[in-house]
Structure 1
Amino acid sequence: MKQLIVNADDFGLHELINEAIVESHVAGCVTSTSIMAGGEAFEHAVRLARKHPKLGVGVHLTLVGACPVARGDIHTLLTKEGAFFPSYGQFIKKYVSGKISRKHVEWELLCQMQRAAGTGIKITHIDSHQHLHALPGLAEVIGRVAREFNVNKIRIPAEPIGFLGKGVPDISRLMAKTVLTGCSLLAQSIYKRMGFFFPQHFFGMMVGGSMRQSSLLHILKGLPEGISEIMVHPGKNTQALEQLFPWGYHWQEEMEALKSKEVLESIKKCEIQLVNYNDIGNIDGRSINLVKQ
């Protein structure tokens, strides 16, 4: 059996992203999303989530490129202006040099989880902005945080090394994917030992921010047996979003791909069952868990 979680990241970052995620859920194949507790459009995302209870909602833990949630001293996580570091590169540089306090990380992430849980939304899983939950040394911290909220499902962004996407791969992206997969596999053993469950397969790094219809169809065609997750980033009005978040993402094209008739037909033709993290455990009346690899 092929089961698929299509998770849209960055719920709560901007209203144009929130609206695209919900549209891609209602009219397309998105089954899951992950909310940013520190996002400027967090409250807007919460209102939309309440209107669409079949959309699974996890927490997109965030330590870069946004505003902190915690009150109190978390100065090692912040710039002089009191915001998170703008890029994961800056965060990692400070982290590996020992200038990031794990106590500060734990307090900030506890506050993010609390803000999400305080809305009454059932948290289905955990993932993170720029996949920082896969960094060596953070699994234990995040595991403790998750236990406080009875969350035991997590994304492991270990895209297969041999998966190159469709077309000629970007070398820098390939190198980043290889490093991320290596870190994810190391973190996976720790999360597994701590009792976390996770999909067997992950896709979305090689074409992150560029999940056009051709790429999505390519993944669906070769989707392996078991439980897979595809990470996507839909949004409305790419030009407007690019002014705020100059990441080179193709938000509008991703939304159109996720809603396309061809993609929905491919899912049906390939006999893929769409699920979300919350659905796992009771599919077709049988007890099926996210697989610990």
Structure 2
Amino acid sequence: MGSHPESLPSPTTPAGREGLNAVLARPDRAVIALDFDGTLADIVPDPEQARAHPGAVSALAALAPKVASIAVITGRPADVAVRFGGFAGVPGLEHLVVLGHYGAERWDAVSGAVHAPAPHPGVAAARAGLPGLLRAFGAVHGAWVEDKGRAVAVHTRRAEDPQAAFETLRGPLGELAAEHGLIVEPGRLVLELRPPGMDKGVALTTYVRELDAESVVYAGDDLGDLAAFAAVEKLRDGGPDGVPGLLVCSGSTEVPDLAARADLSVPGPAAVVAFLAALAERL
């Protein structure tokens, strides 16, 4: 798609077109939900260096006043996503919420506060066990640990053979997670150990129902976004109480499962931002 604001792309599926039309018809009842890394921000070797695409905040600020809410749903801690996104104190973003740790945490622009339950005790136990586990697999040189507070992630992007390191660690990390009552969430060259019971699908469905939204857009790029895609599919299959929805895949080559289920695929964060700007302009 082009970068001109007027070029709002057309979804390739009937369900996607219905979802987009519902947003255009009643934008004040629409929820626009977005993943952060890989969707609003480019994937970078060091997650600490991730920042929202340069045009993201202005596109979101143009769109937010016209819709019921914009929700950023991320595996990151909410305050980290807010900081890396540059979302705090931006005029026009009063309708923004960040659902961090897959929805376990919630930051809203109105109060600027993060609300969250107590951390799962298994995370601290798994964190303590990780250095020994990684030492035992000396072959995965370059794998490193990111402490997310309510979760802990092992990245293999810097390893000599990133995909081989990912496959080597997947089983042992699964055993460590199970031992401490956690689950492993695989992503793009990252394996995250986190508490069960919360995922992006649960977070999205809960938020859409809370706002009594009449339409929903979800954009994501990774395996963790499949739960949100499934939630939108379930919402729009809900008969008389169904909620029309549009599924957008950011970067259609790295996670084929996501691209195959999307109503609209765009080539990464710059194109997601262009889509948001075009939607704001159309509304």
Bucket of the pairwise TM-score, normalised by the shorter protein: 0.3 to 0.5
**Structure in which a larger fraction of residues adopt strand:** 2
TM-score (norm 1): 0.36
TM-score (norm 2): 0.37
